[in-house]
Structure 1
């Protein structure tokens, strides 16, 4: 909604005395700046402003540095004077009050948006004047939209960089191998991840996690930079993990893609955070400088990691969401300048391929089916629906996805001590009793498994310390154990005393 000009006094102040006329005039002038500002609120109750910038509008949070900068520079441009902190603060509070009390409810987006069934991509400063052009993608195709006609409210992070205008027929899927040195299946999975990462969600939804790994000299960091530059380019490449979970969710709230370099260690808290970010979740904490107010950060975002695969694959909840892609050693080293030049030349065509894939997905997703669908089925269906837009044969992505998940499950369970103890338990049962099953109580199972591993393992921090913790662990590794080792476990209660039990068996 556009706002009519009115003074700070209209918001509830007593009319100023004659001696306060200069102060009143200054506030009135500043409040008048809001007359051409569209004030609105997001569904979670955050005040936003859409401010005029040339032929388009920039969208920002009212309580942001960008909004303060707009008010300061606009006031100086109109009146040739600066502003006191008090006057600026009162005007921002006024704008926030109007946005929250009478502003329309709109969705803020980062880089990718969904509007009336179409997908939009914010190109950033894509034209010579730095205006905000966008790509609108429908089931019929895609086209560049002029700044004044862009419908979604795109917000930008300070580190955001522009995307080039996509070009049709400017690249082939195999061209990506110049920057991501994967085999044929790995390249298919990279394209699957790109097409999923470019899918925006108004609500719900989930993203697969891309995990790039390989020996030294396989170009992991360079591949990550290339993929980030195709989805959500940023001045912040090669990010390290933040120190606190709160900072991770703040970062997720401010950009579409989160990319982390050289991931070599991941605690339980951050592993849980990444699961929530990939599948949609939030984080709550006490608001800064308050006694009891709560800040809530929610986001569902694509994730891109490179590093040691066991960091991710050893955690079944994360492994279930990951596409683990091994990069091959580079046959020949190239200068960074040459790589950048080739990427800049191909980037518009590669982005055009992503747009072609998204258009195909919008056309095909309603009737898409996959035989024996892998985990993260919705994401796999979307990628398979998009594949014809890239000229990929039906089933190529789905087949590579299933094989990748099986390999990842096997790799994860090979380094999982509890999984190996379960295999040893059933092997022992077969040798001693001729049975491929075991029944008993939770404490009995905990004791039995602990006896089957070396003492250094049972004493390590990673080994479950109680029967209850073991039960939680078994639930996490259950899908992989069924897929790789054909081992299943069932928990239940029975008997007069309602005692709990576990049944471990080979299928």
Structure 2
């Protein structure tokens, strides 16, 4: 046969690929390959150790007897496939959890056969999702979950609480609410902060909570030294767990706020001058530690303190994790049962809390079980406000000054006048030195007060900004006490 009558190798590869795989693109322009009938998708440019599309294409060509091709032919074929896929419809890919049709959500079990859990309004089922409904993305952080057990009658929740060392029933119900929130693809959940004395099993408890969602390969990790590495770790998995935190820098605190409520990072694409790529992320976050020092107010509103106590009886690691792995299918089944009940429950949405979606979930959990999760959540936020105030001398000074304001009255001054007033109140008659970080200008004071505004409002001190006669002012007020409820006359 003449050379002109032969099909070039790139055309053979392209024809085989298009008959065995479905190619599509995401909103950021990344092209993915999905084997026909299988929900797992791989980026065609990936060189990851979890298996790239190039590798599975080469294996398929060899096993089906098509042939073995050199790197040039494979590159040319993938270039053509990528160009053709850019004209296809846009479809998102998901890690671990995903929204589905008709109000359902999906949980990826991380199995090679693609079996997943579909959580729908009337129950949950184990099935392989339609590739056009859900596309799973797998990374090295995607562990395998066991098949959950049906009809557990809540037994798994009791087993989990026996394995963990939570100090109170309120802490237990908040941990349950967080786990349910992790199964929602679009609901931001606060970050549990497991605290307690040394030896309370904080790391072990954190691993258990993580492994319910991420499988037995899920683990805690040290906090990265910079935001870029933290974002890379967050984007590659679902639950991000940071262990043994003892100090939290302002940059790390801000990054954690973004992880909890969602943000996007834009970076220059490699080997280009003007192109960029986008990394969007919103993930469940979990922290452990005895004490992280001063907590910034914006992070405090996104934390969920879970206190643990030292166990009376110690167990070996091997025994503990063997028991946990044995009951994990029951725990997961009970969690799925409870998730269906909670989502079906009707409850009012609390409008006074920042994490309103999680507060609503707590209210639904109370409606379904009567555990008192919402009251426990409010109490935990109140404790965090105390922590913020105890760690901020400016907040303490503002509260001290506000104590002298009559209820229903307010005081207005410029930022410079407030700085002079609060500085004099702090230094006092003995002129004690100002602490490190004390505001040095009126602008710095104004910015600090904006951060403290929600914390101080929770203590009955309202701060507002305005303008009068072309001059800006800051107003500190104490609202009047509400009138006592009228009592009905007795007859």
TM-score past 0.5 threshold: yes
- The corresponding residue for 1:448 is 421
Verify: 1:67 aligned to 2:53, yes or no. yes
Deviation string for 1:181-220 (max 9, x for gaps)?
111000010001111111112xxx4221111111110111
Whether 1:131 and 2:117 are equivalent positions in the alignment is no
In the TM superposition, what is the alpha-carbon distance from 1:80 to its structure 2 partner?
7.9
| Structure 2 counterparts to residues 190-339 of structure 1, below 5 A | 190-201=175-186, 205-233=187-215, 235=217, 237-311=219-293, 314-339=295-320
| Partner Cα distance (2:30, 2:191) in 1 | 29
Q: Which residue of 2 aligns with 1:439?
A: 412
The answer to whether structure 1 residue 500 and structure 2 residue 486 are counterparts is no
Q: Cα gap change, 1:99/1:310 in structure 2, threshold over 3 Å: closer, same or farther?
A: same
Task: Tell whether the 8 Å contact from 1:457 to 1:463 is kept in structure 2 after alignment.
Answer: no
The 1-side partners of 2:4 and 2:240 are apart by 50
**Is the CA contact 2:188–2:260 (under 8 Å) kept in the aligned structure 1?**
yes
* 2:124 aligned counterpart, secondary structure: strand
Aligned length: 467
Determine whether 1:107 maps to 2:82: no
Quick one: distance in 1 between partners of 2:372 and 2:407? 42
**What are the residue-to-residue correspondences of 1:45-194 with 2, within 5 Å?**
45-52=29-36, 56-65=38-47, 66-79=52-65, 82-101=68-87, 103-116=88-101, 117-125=103-111, 130-146=112-128, 151-170=133-152, 171-182=155-166, 183-194=168-179
> Which residue of structure 1 aligns with residue 389 of structure 2?
413
**Does 1:486 find its partner at 2:460?**
yes
Instruction: Please say if 1:27 is aligned against 2:10.
Output: yes
Matched position secondary structure for 1:59 = strand
Structure 2: how far apart are the matches of 1:440 and 1:305?
A: 41
- Distance in 2 between the 1:456 and 1:228 partners? 48
Name the CA distance, whole Å, in 1 between partners of 2:352 and 2:435. 39
**Alignment check: 8 A CA contact 2:247 2:292 kept:** no
**Kept after mapping to 1: 8 A contact 2:245/2:292:** no
Aligned partner of 1:14 in structure 2 is none
Q: Quick check: 2:347–2:367 contact (8 Å CA) kept in 1?
A: no
Q: Name the CA distance, whole Å, in 2 between partners of 1:90 and 1:305.
A: 46
Change (3 A) 1:31 1:234: farther
Give CA-to-partner distance per residue, 1:112-158, whole Å, 9 cap, x none: 11112101111122xxxx41211111111111114778941111112
Distance 2:131 2:408 in 1: 70
Q: Match of 1:472?
A: 447
1:234 CA drift (Å): 6.5
Q: Are 2:41 and 1:41 aligned?
A: no
Structure 2, gaps ≥5 residues long? 480-491
8 Å CA contact retained: 1:241, 1:260? yes
How far apart in 2 are the matches of 1:179 and 1:119? 28
Equivalents in 1 of 2:133, 2:243: separation in Å? Answer: 34
Measure, in 1, the Cα distance between the counterparts of 2:338 and 2:365.
4
Report the secondary structure of 1:33's partner residue: helix
Does the C-alpha gap of structure 1 residues 25 and 258 become closer, same or farther in structure 2, counting only changes over 3 Å?
A: same
Q: What are the superposed Cα offsets for residues 226-266 of structure 1, whole Å, 9 maximum, x if unpaired?
A: 11111123645221222332332232222221111112222
- Which of the numbers 395, 414, 423 marks the counterpart of 2:399? 423
Report if aligned partners of 2:463, 2:475 keep a CA contact under 8 Å in 1. yes
Structure-2 separation of matches of 1:440 and 1:56? 66
Q: 1:328 to 1:21 in 2, by over 3 A?
A: farther
Q: Which runs of 5+ in 1 are unaligned?
A: 1-17
- 1:355 and 1:176 map into 2 onto residues whose CA distance is 14
Distance 1:435 1:257 in 2: 46
SS in 2 for 1:490: strand
Query: Distance in 1 between the 2:342 and 2:28 partners?
Result: 29
CA RMSD of aligned residues (A): 2.8
Query: Aligned residue for 2:483?
Result: none
Q: Distance in 1 between matches of 2:55 and 2:325?
A: 32
TM-superposed deviation, 1:385: 2.1
TM-score, normalisation: structure 1: 0.84
CA contact (8 A) 1:277 1:300 kept: yes
Whether 2:363 is the aligned partner of 1:384: answer yes
Q: Structure 1 pair 459/396, CA: closer, same or farther in 2 (3 Å)? A: closer
Distance 2:385 2:394 in 1: 14
Structure 1 pair 57–20 and aligned structure 2 pair: CA distance change class (3 A): farther
Which residue of structure 1 lines up, in the alignment, with residue 485 of structure 2? Answer: none
- 1:81–1:115 CA distance, 2 compared to 1 (3 A): same
